[in-house]
Every structure is written in structure tokens, then in C-alpha cells.
Amino acid sequence: MIIDGNYFQINFNKKYGQNFITDKNLLAAIAEDAGVTQEDTVIEIGAGAGTLTAALSDRAKRVIAYEIDDALRPVLEKTLASRENVRVVFEDFLKKSEPLPHSFKVVANLPYYVTTPIVMRLLEGEERPESVTVMVQKEVAERLTAAPGTAEYGAITASLDLVANAEITRIVGRQCFMPPPNVDSAVVRIDLTHKGYTEQEIACARKIIRAAFNMRRKTLSNGLASLFGGKEGANRVIEKAGFSSSVRGETLSAADYVLLARAALALGLIG
């Protein structure tokens, strides 16, 4: 693989789902999509060969890049040698040993297999970023940004919408990667925002969302029966929230799930 005129022999590790970005214009565009400025600390998850890291370094105050594959250490030491505002941490981000900065943005070319755990960790954990801009499989991007009632809409969409707004900023062809993946990708920007819900309401809404989508093909009443001690309890919550007992969970928005959470809290059926 050639980076800035230097050739590197890289053994791409399928275990880590490694597909490195080779298009310099795309690298700059991702940093721009993320809204990175000279005031920002950026957390990158999956430094790879350091190509996106370098593009972020050009714009950010500092970059802390996590890389799980220690075999890439020699590559990163060379490609990032002159970048004093970059620190590479050779560690699994999901098992990191040090706290994140008080204020930060996340930018990452995520391995497809770990997209959901990382996104949900960032949205639900105590260390929450200002925004998350990620390159993901196009199908996953469509799921993250789907509207209620569509085939792509799911638990992760509704949970994300409780605390953030997401949009696809660009579609990326497989030819922009080395080695090329078998699918097209997309860049998604997720901006965390306070929507006026309490932490208790959000936590309860998440429980209801998980229960609802565990039985996606059933009515919401059936999906929530196990959470509220049977269908009678589920119907009490649904009706108090102002919905029909025949409503299906995949048609409800995040705001609707907050209404269900408030109803369940008022009835003392969840905490």
C-alpha cells in the first residue's frame, strides 16, 4: 500500500475488518463533514494506516487515535511521525483503560462488525461526544437514519433519536478502499443534542424500545407484555400514552416511545 509516496507491506487482518481509505479527497471530505476545527479534540476509532488520522490532524487541535492492531505500529510511527498533535493508543476502544477528554468529537472508519456496539456505547455511555461522524456500511447508514414505519427502521434508530440527530453526508463506493469491501459505504454524522427528555425517561424509553423490537412482527401490546407483567399491563401503558392497542412498535418515533415511558412511570410499571 502506498501512502504519501512510501510503500508499506500491510497484511490486512480480516479479524478486524480492515479496509483502509486511499482517496485523499475523501479523507479531507470526512474531516469536513465532521465539522472538525482547530478548537476540537478528536477521538478516532481505528487508526488503520493513519490516512484519516493525518487528515484530522490537519484540522484539529489534537487527535487521539485508537488502534487495536499492534502490527500497524511501525506503519503509524512512520506515517504520523511529524504530527505532534496526534497520539496513538494501541488498545481496543471498547476496553479502553483511560477516560476520554471532557469535550470531544468522534470520527472513525469503523469496521462493520463493531459499528453498533461502538455507536451505542457513545450514545448511552457516561462519556458522550459532541458528535460522531462514522464511515459505515451503506445498509447500516440507512438503518441509523431511517424514518418510522420503513423497513430499515429499528431499535438502534429509535434509541439514537432519543438523544441525537443523524444524517448521511455522502455515499462512498467500494473502490475508495484498500482492500475493496464487498459493499458500498456511507458517512453518517450524528449530532448529540438535548431534546428535553429526562435521563429517567430516556432510560425507560430504551427498555420499551428493546422490548418492542424484540417482537417486531407482533403488535406493540404483545411486544411489551413481558415488560409490564402481561398484555393487560402493556395495554394500560399504551392507552395511557394515547395509542391504539393495535399499534405496532416499528411505526412509533422516539418521541412516541418517550410518551410510553412517561405513561409507564406514571402507572408505576417501570423505573
Angle, CA 229 vertex, CA 225 and CA 230 arms, to 5° = 45
CATH number of the domain at 2-192, please?
3.40.50.150
Contact 270/261 with Cβ under 8 angstroms? yes
Contact 163/123 with Cβ under 8 angstroms? yes
Q: What is the pLDDT of residue 11?
A: 53
3-class SS of residue 27: helix
pLDDT digits (tens, 9 = 90+) for 86-143: 999 999 999 999 999 999 999 998 877 789 999 999 999 999 999 999 999 999 999 9
Which residue spans of the chain are classified as CATH 1.10.8.100? 199-266
pLDDT digits (tens, 9 = 90+) for 158-213: 999 999 999 999 999 887 776 667 788 999 999 999 999 999 999 999 999 999 99
CA 95/CA 228 separation, integer angstroms = 34
Residue 18: band (very low, low, confident or very high) from pLDDT cuts 50, 70, 90:
low
pTM confidence score: 0.89
Which residue spans of the chain are classified as CATH 3.40.50.150? 2-192
DSSP string computed for 202-249: HHHHHHHHHHHHHTTTS-HHHHHTTTTTSHHHHHHHHHHTT--TT--G
Residue 216: band (very low, low, confident or very high) from pLDDT cuts 50, 70, 90:
confident
Residues 6+ apart with CB under 8 A from 128: 122, 163, 192
Indicate if the pLDDT at residue 8 is higher than 70: no
What is the third-level CATH fold of 199-266?
Helicase, Ruva Protein; domain 3 (1.10.8)
Q: What is the pLDDT of residue 84?
A: 97
Residue 241: band (very low, low, confident or very high) from pLDDT cuts 50, 70, 90:
very high
CA 44/CA 187 separation, integer angstroms = 14
Indicate if the pLDDT at residue 20 is higher than 90: no
Share of the chain above pLDDT 90, in %: 78
Angle, CA 134 vertex, CA 10 and CA 188 arms, to 5° = 140
267 vs 178, which has greater pLDDT?
Answer: 267
